[in-house]
Structure 1
Amino acid sequence: MDSSFAYGHVNTKSIAKIPATFVPLSHTILGYCAFFVALVVGCYTQYEKIVQNQYYGYPQEYIPSVSATTGDRYPARAYFQILIALTSGPRFLLVYLWFLYSTRVARTSSVTLGKTLLAIGTLRTLACGGWVYITSTDDHDLHDIAMGLYLLCTLPWQWGVLCTSNKQVAGTTKWRRILLIAFFGSTPFMVYYFIQHKVHQVPGAYSMYAIFEWSLILYDIGFDAVSFLDFQSLEIVISDVMNITHKKEDV
């Protein structure tokens, strides 16, 4: 039997239902694939070129930075940008679903706070597009501005999501707290090694910086992956609100 529900004064027909968990799941898989496929391809095709920096190369430097891996060289850059483009759809949906979930389902957030997080999450996603598609080679300043804006939005986004987590869903608050602490706890070490590289020109410091930089990718995407637990009670319904869907007539 076809499922239907009331939409205003009209009964609408449900055409398809998609588990809402598909959104964080696809976001997580595509996000991790974007970075780590680029890392594998970059290391396989041009390892010594992407570990090279302005002061040292291999063997003093042995881990490529995220920007060198994803933005400097073809074909790794192409794989990364295509996969990030595929990630953008689930990303925008995840941000919007969190607004709906926190304000209307779990009711852990006021509408004002929910809209604020929605705006921050959207801006953060757009900033991600900025540093992904404007590489440091294309325009170093714009790339850094977009990256800075992304990081600036990450703290209120993660803190806001943590504060509006549904404590009735086991594990969500715990894992978000762990990943938030890991993300921002790693940042000072990353900055330290960057200064060692840039100011003091210490051999191998940039590789240590890169290790912490890659760890932030793990924590960042992992933080949003926790939404899988929250969205298990939700599904996305595609419906015909104008009742133009026709039943196939029996022949």
Structure 2
Amino acid sequence: MPASYSDHNKPVHFKVSLATLGKIVCSLPIFATCFCVIWSVIFNFESSTKTHCGVPNFLPSISAAIGDLTPQRYVWRVCIALHCSPRFMVAIAYYSYHTSIHVGQRNELYKTLAALCTFLHICENLALIGLTYVSSTENHDLHEKFFILFMVCSLIYMLLTTYVFSWGRSANGRSILHTERKSLRHKGSLFLFNISIFMFAVYLFFRHNAYCEPYVYTGFAACEYLTVLTNIAFHSTAVFDFEDFNLVLAQRDMVNKLERKHI
């Protein structure tokens, strides 16, 4: 058992488990999504569900729910701002988490893929910030580019992270732990569901634009919600991966430290 910071007469000013932090971070966009959609349906039904061709719908898209409507716009922006900052730290932490294992002769390739995962995670986070603060009504083209960047980075990140996680955790004949097996199973399942429901959402979007059928845009909106929620659920698997880690703010070296609870 390593010595704690207090053992060196250096007081710990702040400590929180990364599992707890992960739950808080993931709960913010879930709350924001549910609040914005429900509030829009109750108080802004007509304006949030109308489309360019005027067919009836009963669910708003996320862009419509968070765009120019208030208080939805403020709730969404505050929650996204609060949840994005810790995600940059988690993205960096994952590189250390993956590369803590040496996989043999192909270790350099493994470390490169781990670094690419971190880069994609950061890009996804930045794209989310962009599409949050540039609404579709303010600048539709830029909002659309941020959304495309978000989805491309998100899907590649989920696929690559699942592969890197599986490779590293089973390297050199290493026995995979129960929590690692659970995390890997959830990652694989959530990625497959996410890409499937997203492709169906794309189909419904183009079908609505081509034929303007009633309630097709509602189906698109429902698929959009599921795409967002499964993306959040994928990132929430960090709760399994970092369950033995704390985020510690101590006087030693005057920086944030990641402390392993059990060695």
Same fold (TM > 0.5)? yes
Q: Is the 8 A contact 2:29 2:76 kept in 1?
A: no
2:42 corresponds to = 44
* 1:42–1:75 Cα contact (<8 Å) kept: no
Match of residue 195 from structure 2: 184
- For residues 130-185 of structure 1, the C-alpha deviation after alignment (integer angstroms, 9 at most, x for no partner) is 11110000000000000001111012210122123244223111111111000101
Q: What residue number does 2:53 align with?
A: 55
Describe the superposition over 1:184-215 as per-residue Cα deviations: whole angstroms up to 9, x where unpaired.
01122111111111011112111111111111
Task: Confirm or deny: 8 A CA contact 1:92 1:122 kept in the other structure.
Answer: yes
Match of 1:193? 204
One-letter code aligned to 2:160: G
Q: 2 CA distance for matches of 1:23 and 1:100? A: 18
Question: How far, CA to CA, are the matches of 2:136 and 2:149 in structure 1?
Answer: 15
Any conservation in 1 of the 2:5–2:252 contact (CA below 8 Å)? no
Number of equivalent positions = 235
Q: Deviations over 1:10-43 (max 9, x none)?
A: x672513321112321121112012111112222
Distance 1:139 1:178, change over 3 A: same
The answer to whether the 8 Å contact 1:3/1:14 transfers is no
Is 1:239 matched up with 2:237? no
Identity of aligned residues (%): 23
Q: 1:240 to 1:174 in 2, by over 3 A?
A: same
Is the Cα–Cα contact under 8 Å of residues 4 and 13 in structure 1 kept in the other structure? yes
Structure 2 unaligned segments of length 5 or more: list them.
Answer: 170-175, 255-263
Cα distance in structure 1, aligned partners of 2:71 and 2:88: 27
Where 2:45 maps in the other structure, the secondary structure is: helix
Runs (4+) off by over 4 Å:
106-109
Match of 2:184 in 1: 173
Q: Which runs of 5+ in 1 are unaligned?
A: 244-251
Please say which of residues 163-172 and 186-195 is displaced more in the overlay. 163-172
Given that 1:26 and 1:90 are in contact with CA atoms closer than 8 Å, whether structure 2 keeps it comes out as no
Secondary structure of the corresponding residue to residue 190 of structure 2: helix
* Matched residue type, 1:49: S
Give, in whole Å, the separation in 1 of the partners of 2:162 and 2:102: 14
Would the alpha carbon gap of residues 191 and 123 (structure 1) be closer, same or farther in structure 2, given more than 3 Å must change?
A: same
User: What's the TM-score, normalizing by structure 1?
Assistant: 0.86
Shift of 1:82: 1.0
- In the TM superposition, what whole-angstrom CA distance separates every residue of 1:196-237 from its partner, at most 9, and x where no partner exists? 110111121111111111110111000011110111111122
CA contact (8 A) 1:23 1:94 kept: no
The one-letter code of the counterpart of 1:131 is: L
Whole-angstrom CA distance in 2 between matches of 1:155 and 1:195: 20
Q: Secondary structure at the match of 2:248?
A: strand
Q: Which residue of 1 aligns with 2:161?
A: 161
What are the within-5 Å matches in structure 2 for residues 120-135 of structure 1?
120-135=120-135
Deviation at 1:241, TM superposition (A): 2.6
> What amino acid is aligned across from residue 54 of structure 1 in structure 2?
H
d(CA) in 2 for partners of 1:242, 1:204: 59
The CA distance in 1 between the partners of 2:148 and 2:9, in whole Å, is 45
Name the structure 2 match of 1:90.
86
| Cα separation, 1, equivalents of 2:238 and 2:216 | 35
Please state which structure has a larger fraction of its residues in helix. 2
1:75 aligned residue (65, 68, 71): 71
Please report how far the alpha carbon of residue 92 of structure 1 lies from its aligned counterpart in structure 2 after TM superposition. Answer: 1.6
CA distance in 2, matches of 1:14, 1:205: 59
Secondary structure, in 3 states, of the residue corresponding to 1:232?
coil
